[in-house]
Structure 1
Amino acid sequence: MSEKYCCMIMRINVDCNSCCRKLRRIILRMKVIENHLIEKQQRRVCVFGRFEPADVAIKIKKKMNRRVEILEVQEMEAEVENEGE
């Protein structure tokens, strides 16, 4: 089962630097997320990768023990990596 590439924007309350570092550690340990952007002032997190959006949000919610609100999900077209075969 291969998931599509997604860009997901979430709202998470990260009010201090240690919360931001903890969130960054959690995101970096998730193998399915390729890129991320944490906007502390706007309380938004943007992640990009090959994943199911609900699964990523649930995992972050469990590890951070904070409410995670999915604002937007955009599905991208996957590029074919093995065109020559």
Structure 2
Amino acid sequence: MVMRINLDCNSCCRKMRRNILNMKEIEKHLIEKQQNRVSICGRFKPSDVAIKLRKKMNRRVEILEIEELTTHYEAQHEHSIINHYKY
């Protein structure tokens, strides 16, 4: 998920990083201060994470992009099922 949030200074970035690291459902994150973007990966509900960050940061959070990723095992399993029923 990619979000836009106003990160004015270095202390805002540190606060954002600390809040993200305290969320157990987030596995990876990337904070882009110049573009005011935060990218996160993990197993979570996007609206729940956005609401939590809005409350903790006391700033408006805008969800730009949500992408669902399948793991390599799931993609391989789906592929084998498709090939199994192919006549």
Q: Tell me the C-alpha RMSD between the 2 structures.
A: 1.3
Would you say 1:33 and 2:26 are equivalent positions?
yes
Higher relative contact order (CA 8 A, sep 6+): 1
Name the amino acid aligned to 1:65: N
* TM-score of the two chains, using structure 1 as the length reference: 0.83
**Structure 2 segments unaligned to the other structure (5+ residues):** 75-87
Give deviations 1:16-75, integer Å, cap 9, x for gaps: 000000000000000000000000000000000000000000000000000000000000
**Structure 1 segments unaligned to the other structure (5+ residues):** 1-7
* TM-score of the two chains, using structure 2 as the length reference: 0.81
Q: Which has the larger radius of gyration?
A: 2
1:78 deviates by 3.7
Q: What is the aligned partner in structure 1 of residue 11 from structure 2?
A: 18
Q: What is the aligned partner in structure 2 of residue 71 from structure 1?
A: 64
Q: How many residues align?
A: 74
Match of 1:59 among 52, 56, 60: 52
CA distance in 2, matches of 1:78, 1:51: 15
Q: What is the aligned partner in structure 2 of residue 3 from structure 1?
A: none
CA distance in 2, matches of 1:51, 1:79: 19
Name the % identity: 70
**Stretches (4+) displaced over 6 A:** none
Structure whose residues are more often helix by fraction: 2
